[in-house]
Structure 1
Amino acid sequence: MDFRDRNRRGVKRLLAAFAFALQGVRDVVTHEKNMQLHLIIAAAVLALAGLLRLPLLHWVLLLLVIAGVFALEMMNTAVERVVDLCTEEFHPLAKRAKDIAAGAVFMYCLFAVVIGIILFLPPILRLLK
Structure 2
Amino acid sequence: MVSAGVENSEQRRSQLLRGVLDVCLLALISEEPRYGYELAEGLAQRGLALVSEGSIYPLLSRMQSAGLVSVFKTASGNGPPRKYYQLTDAGAAELAAGRRSWAAFAESVGQVLAVPTRPEPSPSVPSRHQEDS
TM-score, with structure 1 as normaliser:
0.32
Q: Which has the higher strand share?
A: 2
TM-score, with structure 2 as normaliser:
0.31
Larger Rg: 2
